[in-house]
Structure 1
Amino acid sequence: MAATLNYIISAFTIILFITNEASLACHLSDITIEQTRTGHIVEGKPEYYVTVSNKCVCPQSKVVLQCYGLSSVEPVNPRAIRAVDDESCVVAGGRPIARGSPVKFKYAWLTPQDFPVVSSHVNC
């Protein structure tokens, strides 16, 4: 009986360790932003296609990017990204972004915008 209990405690400890190690392995740098010009012009402005990806094994939610209001002459999909104040945007409405399931959106502006990652929450 004691051996079984020790086995269960050891297995539980290993699971907690692995889960904790995975979440510690995630960083803001695992959220990557790639953008390219689509080749389309909207109201005289080039259109850009943006992909927000998570390279970590753990999903990351509440991903916030610096966006300074997300300037665009065309509507931007609010399910993909939306401004929350004059400086920040939330990606995917705060829902988790899993590895292999990027969030994509388009915008049109005179120059490409920078989208530095401000924060995220690791879900592991």
Structure 2
Amino acid sequence: MAKAAAVLFLVAALLCLMRTGDAQRRFCGKSDITFLVRKTGKVVGSQPEYVVAIETSCSCPMKDVRVWCGGLEDSAVPLDAGKVEVDEGMCVLKQPVARGSPVVFNYSCEVPVNFRVFNAAPDC
């Protein structure tokens, strides 16, 4: 009887651990998206050029990523249309952001853009 209770306890503990892992994946969200912005050293149209890397710490790829990026529509550097589209101050990423595979593109602006996540959803 004690052995059966111990086995039952172990099975319950394993199921609990498995459910906790699933819950962690579901809780990935906007706060898991980060931005690394730096100057490239180039000047385009009298404005400094920047490169931005949009990354995630989530184990799942993040899809439907929309980012506030006011000022980017005036960039003298053409944005990579395969990666990002600007619509009234909102950047819509055309590809998921995956851990270890950031979405990277260049832009030019007087000052660095203050990127902020509006929407992101885990894809797992």
TM range (shorter): 0.7 to 0.9
Q: Cα deviations across residues 78-120 of structure 1 (Å, max 9, x unaligned)?
A: 112111x3121111x1x32111000100011111111101111
Q: Equivalents in 2 of 1:34, 1:98: separation in Å? A: 15
What TM-score, normalized to structure 1? 0.79
Cross-structure match for 1:113: 113
Please tell me whether residue 53 in structure 1 is matched to residue 23 in structure 2. Answer: no
Q: After alignment, is 11-20 or 53-62 more displaced?
A: 11-20
Counterpart residue type for residue 109 of structure 1: C
Partner of 1:31: 33
Residue in 1 that maps onto 2:22 = 19
Larger radius of gyration: 2
Contact 1:61–1:96 at 8 Å: present in 2 too? yes
Q: TM-score w.r.t. structure 2 length?
A: 0.79
Alignment of 1:56-95 (within 5 A): 56-68=58-70, 70=72, 71-83=74-86, 85-91=87-93, 93=94, 95=95
Q: Secondary structure at the match of 2:110?
A: coil
Distance 1:48 1:119 in 2: 23
CA contact (8 A) 2:70 2:90 kept: yes
CA–CA separation in structure 2 for the residues paired with 1:30 and 1:51: 14
Contact 2:39–2:50 (CA<8 Å) still a contact in 1?
Answer: yes
What residue identity is the alignment partner of 1:104? V
> RMSD value over aligned CA atoms?
2.2
